[in-house]
Amino acid sequence: MNVGLRTEENSTSGDRMAMFSGVRTINECSRRPGAVQDTGNCLPSRMGATSMKETPAGSALLDSEKMLFQAILDNAPMGIWFLGLDGRMQFVNKTFCTALGVSEDVFLAAKCYVDVMPPNVTAGLLRSDVECLTQNGPHQSLEWLPFVDGKDHLMEITKIKVLDKDGLPMGLIGLATDVTQLKQHAKQLEHIAHFDALTDVPNRVLFADRLRQALAHSKRENSILAVCYLDLDGFKVINDTMGHESGDRVLIEVTKRIKAIIRVDDTVARLGGDEFAVLLQGLHATEECSTSLNRLLEAIGQPIEIKGKLFEVSASIGVALYPGDDYDADTLLRHADQAMYSAKQSGKNRYHLYDAASDRRTRTHHEFLKRLAVALVRGEFELYYQPKVDMCTRRFVGAEALIRWNHPERGVLAPAEFLQAVEGTTLEVELGDWVIATALKQLESWHKAGLSLELSINISARHLQSTDFAWKLKRKLLRHPPLPKGCLQVEILETAALGDIPRVSETIERCNKIGVGFALDDFGTGYSSLSYLGRLPVDTLKIDQSFVRDMLFDKGDKAIVQGVIALAKAFDRRTVAEGIETEELFHALVAMGCEYGQGYGIARPMPAEELPAWLEKWNSAPFR
């Protein structure tokens, strides 16, 4: 290896002793402080070549400097070479030779250096040489070069034209840096920034870009573009009960199914959580969109096996069509999102096309949800309590807590006017937690005042099926140590309990261990009540008021009430009749063997502070 510029073919490595003195690049050496300017040398004046050669010590110093310079070049972490105007290598460092697996001798012996390079890179290298020699300033290019490890490496090559003292080109210096890993890392970062880490489909950022491109294409081609917003129904239940790993498997499987349905030119993206977006491009009729959407619904709805069990999810899909919905990309996606909420409100597992009326309804719903959230923070909700009595003794035994909204403008609102709006939202669970905490606080207050009773609270299916329900309920009970076991009862709708018998049963059993009882509300309205009753560890059946209210006139209703009471006795369950509005109904239920009852005939729901006065009146003159 050498640093000389001589091109004599017979020169050996030891003979090539000339330094880069006498050579200057386009950046004039005269700009360097202390440089000798009259010869064009770039060596400091204190090390002038002439003075150094005059003595043995000077010659030795020059040899030492050359060796040091050679070592620096050979060990530099990049390829370095000098190329003459005739295409011959006059110098090449060890790093470059080792990386390419081409020796220094082979490089220097070649009439043109590209003769020892792979044919596929020859044209690019020669082109960059010509460009470097014909331009001012460094020339940069990227070339894939085969390395001795058998792999192609991406090299960032910088070439600098070298001028002699008269300013004429005499060759060029080449510097090559391996940027393969840097480019791969940049590519990985680019992928991370634009693709979902779990499903490896475009994320929200890349989808927005794809949407803008698809919209522009549809405008040019006068074709239909469908922007679809998908939200999975039932995913949260799986994620909460089976764990996040199982939830991830569901998301991956759903993504595969969507990709299998849509065409190559279409796009599926995961926007976050269990929300996806799909672009259906190049449509010529809305019927094509409907066909694709129905296939998506069918594919997503197929059972998914997780840990040996089959689970089902469905999708609610909102769709905005261009040019029918002639807006920009962001507005199209927002409209599709709003249409998706309409699909959920219509029963889920379906798609809904955006329209202006739907948009108004959706916005109204969103505003109402926001208002409910504000009401919870402001303390506008209140629990009313409807007494329950022992049918035989007429003794007051408990009450059912029923939520009311003290609306500043509309007055006291019953649950039917607002609870349906929170179904399927996080506010549903938040409101349920508030009910539990408020009921326990009031229950403790009554017990401290000497009023012992069992208090029932209503819990939604979504709330009950959350994985931490029993644990959170236990923590709330621990905040009220004076309360005895058995003073709290949770009421759940029969239809909700039948939705997932194993999971509901497990939650009920956990709550039973901490002294909390359970009642099946509206019993008799479910389609499979009798067959599942034995599998649910509930202690009370509440006979739905729709059967009780007309049982004196409707033989069918009367038979159902009698059947439920008999069934409860057979399964050792208590019975509570709802909707007792008259004393005549009360006596008829006593005759049938019903144990407990509640209804307007006994007492309407009332604020907590009114209960003592009602109790005093009831004890002295029932039904008066």
pLDDT digits 0-9 by tens, 398-414: 999 999 999 999 999 99
- 540 and 616 share one domain: yes
**362 and 388 co-located in one domain:** no
The answer to whether 205 touches 181, Cβ cutoff 8 Å, is: no
| pLDDT level of residue 518 (50, 70, 90 thresholds) | very high
pLDDT at 26: 34
Using CA atoms, how far apart are residues 246 and 198, in angstroms rounded to an integer? Answer: 13
Q: Residue 350 — φ and ψ, nearest 5°? A: -160, 170
Q: Are 465 and 503 in contact (CB under 8 A)?
A: yes
| 497 close to 520: Cβ distance less than 8 angstroms | yes
How deeply is 432 buried, as exposed, middle or buried, from its count of CB atoms within 10 A (0-12, 13-18, 19+)?
buried
Q: Residue 5, SS3?
A: coil
Q: How far apart are CA 548 and CA 552, in angstroms?
A: 8
In-domain check, residue 32: yes
H or E segment and range at residue 495 = helix 494-497
**Is-contact 488 474, C-beta < 8 A?**
no
Question: Is the same domain home to 334 and 428?
Answer: no
Give strand pairing partners of 433.
none
Which residues neighbour 269 within 8 Å (Cβ) at sequence distance 6 or greater?
Answer: 196, 201, 202, 203, 204, 206, 207, 210, 276, 277, 278
Cα separation values, 451 from 66, 382, 444, Å: 103, 20, 9
Nearest CA among 144, 170, 148, 168 for reference residue 157: 144
Q: What whole-number percentage of the chain has pLDDT above 90?
A: 59
Q: Do residues 102 and 155 share a domain?
A: yes
Q: How many Å apart are CA 386 and CA 371, to the nearest integer?
A: 27
**pLDDT (0 to 100) of residue 326:** 66
169-173, 522-526, 587-591: the lowest-pLDDT one: 522-526
Angstrom distance (rounded) from CA 268 to CA 279: 7
Would residue 511 count as lying in a domain?
yes
DSSP string across 342-407: HHHHTTSSEEEE--HHHHHHHHHHHHHHHHHHHHHHHT-EEEEEEEEEETTT--EEEEEEEEEEEE
The tokens describing 413, both together, are: 């609102």
3-state SS, residue 419: helix
Cα separation, 196 vs 76, whole angstroms: 40
C-alpha span between 136 and 162 (Å, rounded): 11
For residue 1, being part of any structural domain is answered with: no
- Domain termination site, one of 183, 215, 245: 183
User: Would you state the pLDDT for residue 499?
Assistant: 64
H or E element, residue 492:
strand 488-493
CATH number, residue 322? 3.30.70.270
Give the H/E segment covering residue 334.
helix 329-345
pLDDT tens digits along 27-75: 333 333 333 333 333 333 333 444 455 577 767 777 778 788 888 888 8
Give the distance between the most distant pair of CA atoms in the chain: 134
Q: How far is 321 from 275, CA to CA, in rounded Å? A: 19
pLDDT band at 320 (very low <50, low <70, confident <90, very high): very high
Q: Are residues 239 and 266 in the same domain?
A: yes
pLDDT at 76: 85
pLDDT computed for residue 32 by the predictor: 35
Helices 356-378 + 426-448 axis angle, to 10: 30
Residue, of 26 and 95, whose pLDDT is higher? 95
CA distances from 183 to 76, 124, 153 (A): 21, 20, 10
| Rounded Cα–Cα distance for residues 288 and 277 (Å) | 18
Mean pLDDT of 344-352: 88
Q: Which of 183, 213, 242 represents a domain boundary (last residue)?
A: 183
* 616 and 470 fall within a common domain: yes
Grouping H, G, I as helix, E, B as strand and the rest as coil, residue 65 is helix
Token pair of 374 as six digits:
């504000």
Q: Is 17 inside a domain boundary? A: no
Other CB atoms within 10 Å distance of the CB of residue 573:
20
Average pLDDT, rounded, for the chain: 85
The SS3 call for residue 215 is helix
* Residue 68: per-residue pLDDT: 84
pLDDT of residue 593 exceeding 80: yes
**Is position 111 within any domain?**
yes
Mean pLDDT across the stretch 546-564?
Answer: 92
One domain, residues 572 and 496: yes
Q: Strands (DSSP E) along 391-473, which ranges?
A: 396-407, 411-413, 454-458
Residue 182's pLDDT is: 87
Which residues make Cβ contacts (< 8 Å) with residue 296, sequence separation at least 6?
A: 228, 230, 258, 261, 262, 278, 315, 317
What pLDDT is attached to residue 293? 94
Is residue 485 in some structural domain? yes
DSSP 81-128: EEEETTS-EEEE-HHHHHHHT--HHHHHHSSSGGGGS-HHHHHHHHHH
Residue 468 is part of a domain; what is its CATH number? 3.20.20.450
Least confident of 59-68, 110-119, 383-392: 59-68
The band of 15, judged by pLDDT with boundaries at 50, 70 and 90, is: very low
Q: Where are the beta strands (DSSP E) in 511-565?
A: 516-523, 540-543
> Checking phi first, is residue 424 left (phi over 0); if not, alpha (psi -120 to 50) or beta?
left
**What pLDDT does residue 6 have?**
32
SS3 for 562-575 is HHHHHHHHHCCCEE
CATH number at residue 134: 3.30.450.20
Greater pLDDT, 327 or 602: 602
Residue 166 domain-assigned (yes or no)? yes
State the total domains in the chain.
3
Are both 206 and 170 inside the same structural domain?
no
> CB burial class (10 A; 0-12, 13-18, 19+) of residue 49?
middle
pLDDT, average across residues 193-210 = 92
Which of 529 and 153 is assigned the larger pLDDT?
Answer: 153
What pLDDT, on a 0 to 100 scale, did the predictor assign at position 497?
65
User: What is the C-alpha radius of gyration for the chain, rounded to an integer number of angstroms?
Assistant: 42
Q: Above 90 in pLDDT, residue 612?
A: yes
Q: Which of 536, 513, 540 is nearest to 398 (CA)?
A: 540
Print the domain residue range for 82: 24-183
Q: What is the pLDDT of residues 440-453, one digit of tens each?
A: 999 999 999 999 99
My answer on whether 212 and 331 are in the same domain is yes
Instruction: Out of 183, 217, 237, pick the residue that ends a domain.
Output: 183
Residues 93 and 127 reside in one and the same domain: yes
Kindly state whether residues 136 and 229 are assigned to the same domain.
no
Q: What is the pLDDT of residue 172?
A: 94
- Helix 426-448 vs helix 469-478: crossing angle, to nearest 10: 30
What is the spatial distance between Cα 210 and Cα 266, in angstroms, rounded to a whole number? 10
Asked if residue 388 and residue 468 are part of one domain, the reply reads yes
CA distance 278 to 276: 7
Buried b (16+ CB within 10 A) or exposed e, 173-208: bbbbebbbeeeeeeeeeeeeebbbeebebbbeebbb
The pLDDT score that the predictor gives to residue 498 is 65
Residue 261 has pLDDT above 90, yes or no: yes
Task: Round to whole Å and give the CA distance between 289 and 271.
Answer: 21
Report if residue 8 sits inside a domain.
no
Q: Where are the alpha helices (DSSP H) in 165-232?
A: 180-194, 204-221
Range of weakest confidence among 45-49, 141-145, 426-430:
45-49
- In angstroms, rounded to a whole number, what is the distance separating the alpha carbons of residues 376 and 240? 25
Q: Give Cα separations from 168 to 23, 128, 133, 542 (angstroms).
A: 10, 19, 10, 104
